[in-house]
Amino acid sequence: MSNKRPDYSGHVVHVMNRKVERRTLFHSNDGYNEFRSLLSAAIRKFDMRILEWTLMPNHWHLLLWPEKKQQLPECMKWLTSMHARLIRGRTETVGNGAIYQSRYRSSFVKPGIHLDRIRNYIAMNPVKAGLIDQSIDWIWGSAKRANFSHLNSNIPLSSGPEPHPNNLYQLLSDPDYLDHSQRKLLSQSLHNELPYGNAAWIQDIGEEFNIPNTTKKVGRPRKRN
């Protein structure tokens, strides 16, 4: 994607960032709590709608639904800069370079089955990493709301542009919800900052926001000599 961010307002967006050189970002529960508190503050400060979130040892995933044009970049700039500032101040390493590897990655998400797949993907991150057996037992993410033995965090969640599936527990905890090819496609979408949805929708979004590698020329291919 080009350096200029598209206008994400009105669209669901998958956002991720990780620490520089894939180093550990959260070393303790205090570190996780620190970022969770900042995330809660950012959501309120910028009136950002958040659908899902998961914190991992060296990165994090957010599923956001901004309403206004500059809402997402302003929210993310505040969140990451404040987090970096806190880490550098707490560890007395001010001036030692960047905390995050780069600017955050972001990609459009199509409502419907693709949004459901993203929800599962984000929830299952700690399970796939071998950190826990069930996603709903990971306290550093929103999937725990499907386990009534856990209290919800102070991060208010939006239901999104459509109602949750009837079985939210299965959606957020089924390790087989995504097959290998679906998981790979989703991961590639975020890595390359490409829209995630069906082919026609991806092309429409690509044309609207001039996103490279999303549009195909229609017509008969040229004959080669």
CATH of the domain at 37: 3.30.70.1290
222 in a structural domain? no
Does residue 203 sit within a domain?
A: no
**Which segment of 56-60, 62-66, 161-165, 219-223 scores lowest on mean pLDDT?**
219-223
Task: Examine residue 64 and state whether it is found in any structural domain, yes or no.
Answer: yes
Domains in the chain: how many in total? 1
Q: Is residue 209 part of a domain?
A: no
Domain carrying residue 18: 12-191
Give domain status of residue 113, yes or no: yes
Query: Residue 95: beta bridge partners?
Result: none
Question: According to the 3-state scheme, what is the secondary structure of 5-42?
Answer: CCCCCCCEEEEEEEEHHHCCCCCCHHHHHHHHHHHHHH
pLDDT in tens, 5-35: 899 999 999 999 999 878 999 999 999 999 9
Residue 210 domain flag: no
Mean pLDDT of the chain: 88
Please, which pLDDT band fits residue 218 given cuts at 50, 70 and 90? very low
What percentage of the chain reaches a pLDDT higher than 90? 69
Between CA 34 and CA 39 the distance in angstroms is 9
Q: Is residue 225 part of a domain?
A: no
Domain-embedded: residue 66: yes
Contact 63, 12 (CB under 8 A): yes
Strand order in the sheet with 50-55: 50-55, 59-64, 12-18, 105-109
